[in-house]
Structure 1
């Protein structure tokens, strides 16, 4: 039995009884066509289950109607929900997404970036966490970052991390904490949540305590390192502000294993407010990010760049201030 092949443009034209040019015009919605011709071509496409060759479309300079999305991993609640919301927002405008999981590795992120550029997606949205990846500076297609400040000419959509860090710390102090500890993935000037934590404690004349365990540390090593750090400091802190909800949930489990009551002995607050964590641990106090709105704003910025290219406007010509969206304190039973 001969091997079945994918149907071609010529197959569609033959079945519909029209020219190749007519089929191409129907697919790309270009030029005048009679309704009868459109219906014949559409029926032939459906009968053959024909799919346009994206590589050929790229060679002819056509839009692929696809957007690349780079995240560390959709296995983490925030990035899984972010990818889902980006897909919803882009689908409303007729775009599909190609999700690339970098696994937190700079080399893999670089490979995915090269792959997306070579396949000429119409644009890229990146929320991966490798810092100082210079490769993005060479990308000349529509590009938007989510919570990642790489280059001043690339739009960066994020929540108000500094205010979120301050809200979390203020809440712990209001609940009676006097020695709150910050548990984060990376410490430094780019950590807005840390900045909010530090400034709030400085106003209260309280010394900051920070434990940083790298975001990209594989499990179960990351959890074990966090548990070891907390155990070694036992008695020196009475609250934990974890800069993501999954880590905060792990702190609650550690507290129970250490014989500490939450919130009686230890107050715990997280950050993100994803649907998955709210369902798994509805009592967790957290700072909620507006993930759906972050996604819509990122898509709006990307579509504006796509339109600008069509109008002949040069991208990256001006510096763009980060777009910050407000956060919300969600009080649960852990504080």
Structure 2
């Protein structure tokens, strides 16, 4: 049986007829070498399809030019588009991306974080939605989050959630809603979209009504739980602000099955405004997150950290966190 394996530096040296040291000097462009020697090494590399070991490069203090990105799953429209935009932004700086899908599991996120650190990627962008993992506090490499508060010392790039939620809630009231409910993943002080909703209702003297369905609930169970919340409150609500578009789509489905006329006697607005959902539901009112700008800003902040580390500075320039970018209110036809 022929055992296939990746060619090593020693294989390149043997085929080129030179020493390991010479191959290393060619790869790292160090010292004087004749063009003939460089050509022989280059030909051997091409012949063997040799790929430099990025982990080994990192262990010798060299850049891997790889950034790790942790998201819940690229199957969700927001995170799929965010990952694509991060990849595009990184490519402009000759970096590549390694995507890790945590699937909403803290243990899997912990494993991926360990993998990225042990493989010495140049930096990490985390957008996963698990509760704060203590392991992040031990990471000693450049790190940026997207819409995730890990620590005051870790830059967090996000949409201006509270301001955008105020706009969304005001739109419901301006269009005639008097009993709007909030459908969100988790309630609490970290939920700035909830804060915006509550603030507008407080100004209007309206009692808030909040439904929660955890972000990581499986799709079939998620739809059942949303239906149960809406069924129980059907007589007490005339609108729903869902803090993501997929939940807003589930609300629209419930309204249709229950004979609610949207937007005449029932109004719905979502949040995210991804291209995928806009194509499927072009009339859905929503807040469009600036996904491309979020990705580019996260990459810029991360690369500034990487450059600071590479130049042996004590620390990168201080960043006021969170970095908030405005969302765009799209009134649609569902309000």
| Shorter-chain TM-score range | over 0.9
Query: How far, CA to CA, are the matches of 2:28 and 2:196 in structure 1?
Result: 50
Residue 165 of structure 2 corresponds to which residue in structure 1?
Answer: 165
The offset of 1:4, in angstroms, is: 3.3
Judging changes above 3 Å, is the alpha-carbon distance between structure 1 residues 174 and 109 closer, same or farther for their aligned structure 2 residues? same
Query: How far, CA to CA, are the matches of 1:315 and 1:143 in structure 2?
Result: 13
Residue 262 of structure 1 corresponds to which residue in structure 2?
Answer: 262
1:296 matched to 2:306? The reply is no
Partner secondary structure for residue 153 of structure 1: coil
Judging changes above 3 Å, is the alpha-carbon distance between structure 1 residues 313 and 3 closer, same or farther for their aligned structure 2 residues? same
1:100 matched to 2:100? The reply is yes
Judging changes above 3 Å, is the alpha-carbon distance between structure 1 residues 23 and 92 closer, same or farther for their aligned structure 2 residues? farther
The offset of 1:247, in angstroms, is: 0.7
TM normalised by structure 1 equals 0.94
Judging changes above 3 Å, is the alpha-carbon distance between structure 1 residues 32 and 80 closer, same or farther for their aligned structure 2 residues? farther
Partner secondary structure for residue 299 of structure 2: helix
TM normalised by structure 2 equals 0.94
RMSD between superposed Cα atoms in Å: 2.0
Residue 7 of structure 2 corresponds to which residue in structure 1?
Answer: 7
Judging changes above 3 Å, is the alpha-carbon distance between structure 1 residues 263 and 31 closer, same or farther for their aligned structure 2 residues? farther
Larger CA deviation: 102-111 vs 155-164:
102-111
Residue 219 of structure 2 corresponds to which residue in structure 1?
Answer: 219
Residue 71 of structure 2 corresponds to which residue in structure 1?
Answer: 71
Query: How far, CA to CA, are the matches of 2:331 and 2:37 in structure 1?
Result: 61
Equivalent pair of 1:144/1:156 in contact (CA under 8 Å): yes
Unaligned runs of 5+ in 1: none
The offset of 1:318, in angstroms, is: 6.1
Equivalent pair of 1:82/1:292 in contact (CA under 8 Å): yes
Residue 203 of structure 1 corresponds to which residue in structure 2?
Answer: 203
Residue 185 of structure 1 corresponds to which residue in structure 2?
Answer: 185
Equivalent pair of 2:158/2:325 in contact (CA under 8 Å): yes
Residue 125 of structure 2 corresponds to which residue in structure 1?
Answer: 125
Residue 307 of structure 1 corresponds to which residue in structure 2?
Answer: 307
Query: How far, CA to CA, are the matches of 2:75 and 2:81 in structure 1?
Result: 10
Residue 284 of structure 1 corresponds to which residue in structure 2?
Answer: 284
Larger CA deviation: 32-41 vs 105-114:
32-41
Equivalent pair of 1:155/1:320 in contact (CA under 8 Å): yes
Equivalent pair of 2:67/2:96 in contact (CA under 8 Å): yes
Residue 329 of structure 2 corresponds to which residue in structure 1?
Answer: 329
Partner secondary structure for residue 5 of structure 1: coil
Partner secondary structure for residue 193 of structure 2: helix
Residue 23 of structure 2 corresponds to which residue in structure 1?
Answer: 23
Equivalent pair of 1:124/1:142 in contact (CA under 8 Å): yes
Judging changes above 3 Å, is the alpha-carbon distance between structure 1 residues 4 and 112 closer, same or farther for their aligned structure 2 residues? closer
Equivalent pair of 1:154/1:316 in contact (CA under 8 Å): no
Give the total of aligned pairs.
Answer: 335
Equivalent pair of 2:238/2:265 in contact (CA under 8 Å): yes
Residue 115 of structure 2 corresponds to which residue in structure 1?
Answer: 115
Query: How far, CA to CA, are the matches of 1:29 and 1:283 in structure 2?
Result: 57
Judging changes above 3 Å, is the alpha-carbon distance between structure 1 residues 159 and 29 closer, same or farther for their aligned structure 2 residues? farther
Partner secondary structure for residue 67 of structure 1: strand
Larger CA deviation: 305-314 vs 148-157:
305-314
The offset of 1:148, in angstroms, is: 0.7
Larger CA deviation: 62-71 vs 289-298:
62-71
Query: How far, CA to CA, are the matches of 1:285 and 1:319 in structure 2?
Result: 33
Query: How far, CA to CA, are the matches of 1:306 and 1:84 in structure 2?
Result: 21
The offset of 1:12, in angstroms, is: 2.5
